[in-house]
Amino acid sequence: MTFPADWEAEKMAVMDQREEHHHLPAAEAGEVRGNERMWVQMLRVFVHNKIAVLSALYVIGVVLFCFVGPLFYHSNQTDASASLFSVNLSPQKGFPLGTDYEGFDILGRLMFAGQSSLELGFLAAMISLVVGVGYGVLSGYIGGWLDALLMRFIDVMLSIPGLFLLLAVISLFGRSKTLLILTLGLTGWFGDARLLRGEAIALRDREFAQAVRAMGGGSGRIIWRHILPNTVSTMMTVATFALAGSILALTSLGFLGLGIPLPETDWGTMIQFGSNNFQIGCWWQVYPVCALFLLLVISFNYIGDAMRDMFEVRLRER
Amino acid sequence: MLGYLFRRILQGIGVLFGVSFMTFLLPSIMGGNIARGVLGPHAGPQALKEFLHSHGLDQPFLIQYYHYMIGLFHGNLGTSLNPSTLDESVWQVVSPYIPRTLWLVIISIFFSTTISIIIGMFQGLRRNSIFDHTMTFFVFLLYSFPAFLFSLMTIIVFSLTLHWFPPAIDSPTANGFFSPLVQMWDSPSQFVLPLATLTVLGIGGLTRFMRGSILETMVQDYVRTARAKGCSPNRVLFRHAFRNAVLPTITILGLSLPALFGGALITEQVFNYPGMGQLTVLSTNARDVPVVMGLTLLVTIATVAGNLLADIGIAIADPRIRLTGKR
C-alpha cells in the first residue's frame, strides 16, 4: 500500500487485536517493570524471528553508516565550487559510487543525506509519540464529553489524506529543517492517539487503578505510575511505526521537491535529482539510494510485524 | 436501515464541517505568514496591510468564518494567490483537475479489488501451498513499497529500458468530466503504467486482508453445515462463504481511500499528469494557500463520500447491519 495510511491501517489492525483481548476476562495485569521474565520471553520471540533480527541489524547498520561512516570516509558535501569539475562522474577511483549533478560524491552523499533523514525522522517521530500518547491517554482517562469531542477531532484529521495534509501545512508555513520536523511530528499522531485512548480506557478502571483511588492517590499518580507503564508495549510498537512513517513521509516530500532545502539534503531529494538524470545514463545516482531506502522501509515493516508477535506473547501471559 | 443511513450521513457531514473549519482556521491565523509568502520578504508593512485587507484576513475571526462558510455553500472556495492565476476563483482553477484524479482512483480501485479478491481467495483456499508462500512474499514486498519508488521503478524498467510504454501522460486537451476516459480510450498505452502503479499499491493490503477473511469464513459453522448437507465445493464457496468473506473488504477499501489519494498525488507527479495531486504540489511550491486548502477540502469530501458509499454498500448487502444498525 501507499504512504501513509498503510501505517495507519497497521495500527488499526493492532488496535482491533488489542480490543478483542481486552474483552477477555482480565486476569492479573501486574506491574510491567517488575516482570523481567516476560521481557526475556518477549525478546526470545523476537530473536526467534530471523528476518526481524536481520532487519534490526540492517537498521543499526544504516545508522552507523550515516553517523560513524563520515569519520572514516571523507568527502566534500558542502562546497559546490570545489566540486564543479566532477559533475555526473560514473563510479571510478576516488568516487566509488560516482558523483551527482552537483559533483558531490554519492557514497558520502548517502551518509550526509541519511544523517538529516534519520535525524528529522527520529525527532518528528518523538514529537508525534509524545503528543499522541498524551492526547490519547488524557482523552481516554478523562472520558465523557471531552473524550467525545477530542475523538471527533481525530476523526476529522484522519479523514484528510496524509500527504495532502502535509502539503497544506507546508504551503502555510514554508519549509526549513525545524518546520519540517514540526510539520511531520504534528501531523502524524492522530492514529497513535486513538490507539492509546483505547488502552487508557481499558486500564483506568482496572483493580490496581481502583486501589490507588481507594488509598487516596490522585489521577496524576494513576496515569503516571500505572497507566503509562502498562502501555509501554503499545508505545514501542507505535514508536516503530511512527519512525518508519516519518522517514517515509520525509522521503516522499523530498521526492516531490519539498524536502530539506539546500545546502543540506535528504534521501528523497537525492532520488528526485537522480531520477531526473537517469535518462542521460546516470544510473549510479538512482540505484544505491533507492536500494538503501527500500531495504530500510522493508526492515521497519518486518520489525513492526515481529514486535506485534512479541506483544501477543505478553497478552497470552496475562 | 433508514435510521442507520441517516446516522452515517450525519456523521459524514459532521466530519466535513470539521475539515472545512480546519481549512478555514489555519489560513486565517496564519494571515501574516501568507502575505509574506506571496509578497516576498521585501514587502513593506503598508503592502502587507493592504494585502490582508483586500483578502479579508484582517476582519474578526467569526466574521471571517461566517463569510467563508456562506461562500462554501455557494461553491466559493476563495481566490487563488498564485501569480499566474491571480484572483481567479479557486473552483475555476481546480475544477479541470478533479475528474482526472477521480477516474484514476476509481479505475485503479476496480482493478486492485478484483485482483486481490482472486489472489487472496486462492491463497486462503490453498493455505501453506507454494502459491500461498510466494504470494505472501510478493504481497509483503508490494505492501512495503513506497509509492514514489514503485512508480520510479516501473518507469525505469518498462519505459526507459524495455520501451513498452511511454514514461509520461500527454497533457489532456479537454476538461470535461468524461474526457479523461476518452483520453484513456484513445491512447491506453500511456495510462498503463500509472494505473498499474496505483493498482499494485492497493493490492498489498487488500490481498492480505482477503486471505485472512476467507480463512476465517471457511471454518464457520454455516460452512460446515453446507458441506454436511452435501453441497458441492463450488456451491459452498460461492453461495455460502464468498459473500461473507468479501464484505469486510469493502470497509477496508473505504479506509484505504486516503492512502489511494496520496498515492495518486505521487503517481501524477511522476507521470506528469495534471490531476489534483500535481496541482497540490505546484500550489504548495507557489504557496497558493487557498488553492491548496480547497484541494484538501475536495479530496477529503471524496474520501468521506467514499467511506459513506462503502458503508451503505455493506448495509445493503448484509442484512445483519441493515436490521440492527451495528457493525
Q: Give B258-288 pLDDT, tens digit per residue.
A: 888 888 898 988 888 888 888 888 888 877 7
| CA dist., res. A291 & res. A181, Å (int) | 25
- Inter-chain touch B287–A167, beta carbons under 8 Å: no
Residue type, A204: R
For A245, name the nearest residue in chain B, comparing CA atoms only: B146
In this structure, what are the phi and psi dihedrals at residue B302, rounded to the nearest 5 degrees? -60, -40
Query: How many other C-beta atoms lie within 10 A of the C-beta of residue A66?
Result: 20
Q: Write the pLDDT tens digit of every residue in A28-49.
A: 444 444 566 677 777 777 777 7
Residue B171 has pLDDT above 70, yes or no: yes
| Partners of A99 in beta bridges | A105
Give the SS3 label for residue B215: helix
- A12's CB contacts (< 8 A; 6+ apart) are A191, B255
Residue B313 contacts A where some CB pair is shorter than 8 Å: no
Q: Which residues pair with B89 in a beta bridge?
A: B79
Residue A95 has pLDDT above 80, yes or no: no
Test A159 with B146 for CB contact under 8 angstroms: no
- According to DSSP, residue A25 is labeled P
Instruction: Give contacts of A158 with chain B, Cβ < 8 Å.
Output: 258
Inter-chain residue contact A168 with B296, CB threshold 8 Å: yes
- As a whole number, the mean pLDDT across chain A is 79
State the Cα torsion B51-B55-B58-B62 to the nearest 10°: -170
In this prediction, residue A132 carries a pLDDT of 92
Contacts of A278 in chain B (CB under 8 A): 156, 160
* Nearest neighbour of B287 by CB, restricted to A153, A165, A171: A171
pLDDT digits (tens, 9 = 90+) for B32-79: 666 766 666 677 777 777 777 777 677 777 787 887 788 888 777 777
Quick one: pLDDT at residue A128?
93
- Predicted confidence (pLDDT) at residue A73 exceeds the cutoff of 60: yes
B259: amino acid identity, one letter: A
Distances (CA, A) of A240 to A228, A247, B2, B182: 17, 11, 42, 45
Mean pLDDT of A297-317: 74
Q: Mean pLDDT, to the nearest integer, of B111-137?
A: 85
A74 exposure class (CB count in 10 Å sphere: 0-12, 13-18, 19+): exposed
- Chain B's closest residue to A255, CA to CA, is B148
Query: Within a 10 A sphere around the Cβ of B312, how many other Cβ atoms?
Result: 17
Q: What average pLDDT does range A257-270 have in this prediction?
A: 85
Find all residues with CB under 8 Å of A53, minimum gap 6, and list them.
A46, A47
CB contact under 8 A, A164 and B34: no
Nearest CA in chain A to B146: A2
First to last CA, chain B: 12
- Quote the DSSP letter at residue A285: G
Grid cell for residue B35:
502575505
- In A, minimum Cα distance to B268 occurs at A256
Which residues of chain B have a CB within 8 Å of the CB of A4? 259, 262
pLDDT at A6 over 50: no
Query: Shortest CB distance from A9 goes to which of B26, B30, B205?
Result: B205
One-letter identity of residue B325: G
Name which of B142, B157, B158 is nearest B198 in CA terms: B142
Using the Cβ of B145 and the Cβ atoms of chain A, whether some distance falls under 8 Å is answered with yes
Q: What pLDDT, on the 0 to 100 scale, is given for residue A19?
A: 44
The per-residue pLDDT for A94 is 73
The verdict on a CB contact (< 8 Å) between A159 and B303 is yes
**Is-contact B27 A168, C-beta < 8 A?**
no
Question: From the CA atom positions of chain A, what is the Rg in Å?
Answer: 22
8-state DSSP, B169: P
* Model pLDDT, residue B1: 67
Instruction: Quickly list DSSP for A155-166.
Output: HHHHTS-HHHHH
Residue type, B159: S
- Confidence band of A144 (pLDDT split at 50, 70, 90): confident
Q: Residues A163-181: pLDDT tens digits?
A: 888 888 888 887 888 888 9
